[in-house]
Structure 1
């Protein structure tokens, strides 16, 4: 495995707590699963596994209350299957009929440094993948737009390679409580969330391995 570091920033972010059923309320910082998605936005292949190891918080944790319009429905899977069988069908979703207004407690003006290991499963030429990721990250290229929890909150992502230019983490320590680590896809029909007790020490959160004893359902 080889470790990489990304500097991440954005105007807004929302890493939604799963226990909040109606309103969106963010965790205090980026979750490991959201950090993993940033790396996968730059490079992902079936042979690649990203393991987030450390999160550094570079700016004070700030909050903002926003009220947004959202769509409260999705296109029916049954309608899609019928349209595929028949060859035609009404698959439109009428926003005016499904619009919902929801309040949210989001993060604002965020900046992180996230460290992750690149694991290659059955890859014959690992150097090829290393060079591919480094080239894309250095040029600001990605497969899909990196985002901070919600797709409308775009993230500015770059490869953090020059240690002399890296900003220090904030001088703050706190218990962040139980935080979502990632989803366990061992049972593909119903992925199970797994959590860990997040501790921020001088702005740094050490993320345990997914199979560590500290990670629980």
Structure 2
């Protein structure tokens, strides 16, 4: 499998006993059902758990499904916040998952105050080392109760369960959130897209700052609520990457 990597790319194997990439449609009744594929936002969250600074933005390029897609339904007792006690609900998880992920980071141009922290060689060196170590923070597969694990891999290596299937369409899926610190707007939007897996690989469209509903970029979005970005300052509440590298 040919693999053309963007600059500052990392590749890793992501595994876990269970995963819950929640389909928002199923949450209305208090129960949750996982998409059959990991969402862009969930994989981006994994990348940020591996390594993140506010001066960079992780872009997930593609994911390869290694294990067959299996589901497992469990009875859960979520907390009832309007009165004492618990409810009874059924959550449908993915079971025994394994994915190969390719992602790269770019500079967050909406944070000009962190321009001095844009030293790609140092950031990339740390990111590679953190993949080797399994991440700087805990890895989750969609939700906190689904623990994940990462390790280095070569994207496209080995046998995958769907390598011989030319195309599987999954319809309209949640893609990601458009946060204020990545768009420059004081708004939170949710993005959607039409997911297709080809020969076991899902290639994600790159998010843009264009949040106009009729922009023609092929990624519908919806306004969620007003939100403002957190302020960061080097040497104040952000450690420069040179100091981060020296401490690891």
**Secondary structure, in 3 states, of the residue corresponding to 1:15?**
coil
For residues 134-213 of structure 1, the aligned pairs below 5 Å read: 134-142=128-136, 144-161=137-154, 166-169=157-160, 170-171=162-163, 172=165, 173-186=167-180, 187-188=185-186, 191-211=188-208, 213=217
**TM-score for both structures, normalised by structure 1:** 0.81
Q: Is the 8 A contact 2:64 2:99 kept in 1?
A: yes
Distance in 2, Cα, partners of 1:98 & 1:213: 46
Distance in 1, Cα, partners of 2:57 & 2:135: 19
**Greater relative contact order, per chain length (Cα 8 Å cut-off, separation 6+):** 1
* 2:76 is the alignment partner of 1:72: no
Match of 2:92 in 1: 105
Q: How many residues align?
A: 192
Aligned Cα RMSD in Å?
Answer: 2.1
Give the number of the structure whose residues are more often strand, by fraction. 1
Q: Is the 8 A contact 2:49 2:135 kept in 1?
A: no
1:25-84 residue CA offsets vs partner (Å, 9 max, x unmatched): 11011111000001100111110100111011001111111111222339xxxxxxxxxx
Distance in 2, Cα, partners of 1:108 & 1:36: 21
Distance in 2, Cα, partners of 1:72 & 1:19: 20
**Secondary structure, in 3 states, of the residue corresponding to 1:70?**
coil
How many Å apart are 1:185 and its aligned residue?
2.2
Distance in 2, Cα, partners of 1:42 & 1:5: 11
How many Å apart are 1:99 and its aligned residue?
2.3
**Secondary structure, in 3 states, of the residue corresponding to 1:134?**
helix
**TM-score for both structures, normalised by structure 2:** 0.72
**Secondary structure, in 3 states, of the residue corresponding to 1:46?**
coil
Gaps of 5+ in 2: 1-6, 109-114, 209-215, 222-248
The equivalent position to 1:128 in structure 2, one of 122, 127, 132, is 122
Gaps of 5+ in 1: 75-95
The 1:188/1:54 distance shift into structure 2, 3 A limit, reads same
